[in-house]
Structure 1
Amino acid sequence: MTSLKVQLGNYPHTRPLKERTIPVDGVDCHFTESSPLHAAFARMVRNLEYDVCEMPVATYLQAREAGVPVRLLPVVMVGSGHHRSLTRLPDGPGLSPRDLPGRRVAVRAYSQTTGLWVRGILREDFGVDASDVTWMTTEEPHVAQYRNPPNVRLCAAERVVDLLRAGDADAAVLGPRAIGGQGAGLVPIVPDAEEAERAWEKRHGAVPVNHLVVASDDAVRSAPDAVAALYRALAEAIAATAGERDGSPGGRAVAAGWTEPLLRCLDVAGRYALEQQVVRSPVDIGAIERESGFLDR
């Protein structure tokens, strides 16, 4: 039996695999845990520590550009609307998105996928370019080869919200989980954020995707059937747990397969990434899809 070392977060759609109620045919999956989850992403793109690993969209795009030998599996693990991700202190001065040029905005890393979506929204909806803002970060990029643009500052703070509360930033970008954690009580800057998210989704035909899944080239070359079996099991688990997800953008984002919404979403993410210098060369979505052709065997 083939063994795979697998790092996936804990969600309703990964529970059946981790509890072995949905088997991965012919594969002994060794599921590891990482706390926080995002620490595993750097270990994957720097050291190829896992055979299969959950991966943020922006990190994957940077890794692919840097020549890191991984392939994308079309499994959406996490997604959400992100107009609510741009926040400020509730007792601070009123601030609109168009007030941000010349100001400082805190984000965990410039290459964090939530930040990618927020900067794209700022440019698309409000005419604010990424280069108009100073981005205050608490972490380095996951991909070691990547260099931040000159308007990015690495700070000593441990958390994004600490920069905001210390007055070192005027606004903060927080991912979906962080909004309910360290970001509790913060106020969205985008007016009518939920309505704006619905308009963005209608315009693009997709919910913004945060995390997908990658497999190392070594695993694909040595055990393509095992990686494909894991992919099929994830797809089965997503279908089996559909009733545990609501109709929110986050609930609707989770899916498996090269769906039209996923292709549209990746196309927009690639364009945003190039505009923001998250990557420095155009993203070929067709080539990414072709690289996963072994899944159809």
Structure 2
Amino acid sequence: MTRLTVALRRYPHTEPLLDGTVKVPGCELDLPEVEPIHRAFAPMVREQRYDVSELAVATLLQAVEADVPIAALPVVLHGNFHHRSISVWGGDGQLRPQDLRGRRVGVRAYSQTTGLWVRGVLSDTYGVRAQDVTWVTTEGAHVDGAPEPPNVEHTSAKLVDALREGDVSAVVMGARSADHVDGLVPLIGDWKDQQERFLDHHGWVPINHLAVVRKDLLRSEPGLVRALYQGLCAGIDAARPVEPSGSTRELVVRHGMSDTLLATLQTAIRYAREQELIASDLDAADLFADFNRYVGRI
């Protein structure tokens, strides 16, 4: 019996695999508790600590460019709209998205995927390029040696404190986290309308996290990886409601190769290039080349 170390957050669609409801034939799973899940990303890309891991899209793109020996699986574990993921203090209505030019904005790490999507929205919708803002961060990239543009600064202060004290004009933070901080309000006041327009225009919800696997395991045990992939797929299928509600999770969480998956990731690649997170002109389909080569043949 082969043992695999799998680092995944507990979502409704991963719970069947993690609690053993869905079995992986010939395999037992070691399931380290990693909370929040982004703490698994650096160990995965720096030392391949896990056999299979959840991984943020921006980290994946930087890892591919750095030839890190991991491969993406076509399994979307998490995603969201990010028009509500940038906040200001107090909500006096004086600061608009286009007013961020020349200002300082806090974000946990410049390579954070939420930040990637927020900067994409600011650029595509409001004409504010990543280079127009000074990005104040508390962490570096998960991928060793990943470059940062010159308009990135580091601070030891908590970003909410920096915002409260006026050292930054806005902070990038997931909506759930922002909801727990009194005083934070969305920079984009009509964020709901903007989300609807984004979905109407693109036809997809931004992806934050995919599943990835160590390349050596994929090449040496493709049948085992396919069995695990099928287990992830079964969990996603089991979590789908009988009557679709149109929730964001239903729209974004998916498995298998599709034009929607590739279009979403191609936009993420464009943003990563524009924001100087990567220098290579990657192709979304190439992210799954190893998956298709080894698992697709079985």
Q: TM tier, shorter chain?
A: over 0.9
Asked if 2 retains the 8 angstrom alpha-carbon contact of 1:205 and 1:264, the reply is no
Amino acid in the other structure paired with 1:212: L
Cα distance in 2 between the residues matched to 1:177 and 1:74: 26
Structure 2 residue 152 is matched with structure 1 residue 152? yes
> How does the TM-score come out when normalised to structure 2?
0.94
Change (3 A) 1:184 1:255: farther
SS at match of 2:5: strand
Q: Report the more deviating stretch, 212-221 or 124-133.
A: 212-221
Whole-angstrom distance in 2 between the partners of 1:286 and 1:91: 42
Partners of 1:114 and 1:124 in 2: how far apart?
A: 15
Q: Counterparts of 1:1-297 in structure 2 under 5 Å?
A: 1-91=1-91, 94-157=94-157, 159-181=158-180, 183=181, 185-243=183-241, 246-293=245-292, 294-296=294-296, 297=298
Letter in 1 for 2:229: Y
Q: How far apart are residue 247 of structure 1 and its match?
A: 2.4
C-alpha displacement of 1:257: 1.0
What do you get for the CA RMSD once the two structures are aligned?
1.6
Shift of 1:39: 1.1
Q: Distance in 1 between matches of 2:210 and 2:163?
A: 29
Q: 1:5–1:29: 8 Å Cα contact kept in structure 2?
A: yes
Contact 1:77 1:213 in 2 (8 A): yes
Q: How many residues align?
A: 295
Query: Post-superposition shift, 1:218?
Result: 1.6
Give the Cα–Cα distance (whole angstroms) in 1 for the partners of residues 84 and 54 of structure 2.
24
* Structure-2 change in CA distance of 1:13 and 1:78 (3 Å): same
What stretches of structure 1 move > 6 A for 4+ residues in a row? none
User: Is 87-96 or 145-154 further displaced after alignment?
Assistant: 87-96
Cα distance, 1:192 vs structure 2: 1.1
Structure 1 contact 5–52 (Cα < 8 Å) conserved: yes
Q: Any gaps of 5 or more consecutive residues in structure 2? A: none
Contact 1:246 1:252 in 2 (8 A): no
TM-score by length of 1: 0.95
What runs of 5+ residues in structure 1 fail to find an aligned partner? Answer: none
Contact 1:2–1:223 (Cα < 8 Å) also in 2: no
Instruction: Using the TM superposition, give the Cα deviation of residue 222 of structure 1 relative to its aligned residue in structure 2, in angstroms.
Output: 2.2
| 93-102 vs 105-114, greater mean Cα deviation | 93-102
Structure 1 residue 190 displacement after superposition: 1.4
